[in-house]
Amino acid sequence: MPLVMGLATTALLTFLLLPFLKRLKGETIREDVPERHRLKAGTPTMGGIAFVISIPLTSFAAATLLQPSLLIDFAFLVGATVSFAFIGLADDLAKLRRKKGWRTQPKLAAQIAMSLFWIAAVKERWALSPPIAISSTIFDLLWFGILLLLFLATVNGVNIADGLDGLASGLTAMASFSIGLLALGNKMVAGAIANFALCGSCLGFLLFNRYPAKVFMGDVGSMALGAGLVMSVFMSKAILPFLLIGIVFWVEQLTVMLQVAYFKWTKRRFGEGRRIFPMTPIHHSFEILGWSEPKIVSLFWLFGAIAATLGILVVLLLSRW
């Protein structure tokens, strides 16, 4: 039920928002992307506002109908989703003035502050304990740091993946659906509702975001999705399987980090910056090689589906030991 509700609500909201979004300036294309992306200039952006409305509506409605005692848990989920949506919205609005948007340092500082707040808010309530029981203050701080790193990696992973039509929404739908199945198998109602609502919202948006996209989610959408996804993972106590299920997000991010680090190092060492990949995030490298956008997205979706399936299989195998 949450999946269908999320799909229908997001599809309807996106449809209703399109006329308003078309009045805005539209997508600003950066200079460091493949030439074919110039054709996307002016496409309505910030369509992810639909997530900010649909995820709370779907989550609260499903919880009220299925298990009202979970409403407080969904308040945390919605709070995190909306707070990161505002960070993304600030970035989107900044892009209307300057192509690069909000500067990296203040944006990262805002992300860290919000991540710390929401982790601290739910850590005890959702029993986010480490897989190894060690009574140590240092170990507890280390585990908190790991949770923070996962939060930031998920938010920025979804954000970075939002570079091709339908890529981020499709990958998030697969990840949330698989985590939802794991939550359902473990009788974690809250986690199942949260993930299926998120999956449905992604599928509803995908109706308008698939190639050729009629609307982009913008940072307001990608950061909201990332926060919603990681909070849903926390609710489902599925941190370890998510490390495998979300591998495409990690690879996308890692290629950017490696490229930037190598470029800076070679510039200091040799006087000119060199690159490991033709272009990052890695999906742009395939464009440079001549692949069509639908073909690249299909390949990444395939990897996402394989990772999601393997994540479920690993949990099933380990549960039998």
**Can you give the pLDDT at residue 182?**
97
Residue 255 inside a domain? The answer is no
Residue 291 inside a domain? The answer is no
Residue 200 inside a domain? The answer is yes
Q: Are 200 and 29 in contact (CB under 8 A)?
A: no
Residue 285 inside a domain? The answer is no
Residue 99 CB coordination number (10 Å): 12
Q: Which residue has the tokens 């500082």?
A: 109
CA-to-CA distance for 297 and 125, rounded, in angstroms?
Answer: 38
Residues of the chain with pLDDT under 50: none
What pTM, to 2 d.p., does this model score? Answer: 0.94
**Can you give the pLDDT at residue 129?**
87
Residue 76 inside a domain? The answer is yes
**Can you give the pLDDT at residue 7?**
77
Residue 172 inside a domain? The answer is yes
Structural element, H or E, at residue 312: helix 293-319
Residue 182 inside a domain? The answer is yes
Domain limits at 149? 2-239
Residue 319 inside a domain? The answer is no
Residue-wise pLDDT tens digits, 298-318: 999 999 999 999 999 999 998
* Alpha carbons within 13 A on the beta-carbon side of 112: 8
Residue 33 CB coordination number (10 Å): 14
How many structural domains are present in the chain? 1
Note every long-range contact of 62-68, with CB atoms under 8 Å and residues 24 or more positions apart, other chains counting: 62/1, 62/2, 62/5, 62/193, 62/197, 63/190, 63/193, 65/1, 66/1, 66/189, 66/193, 67/189, 67/190, 67/193
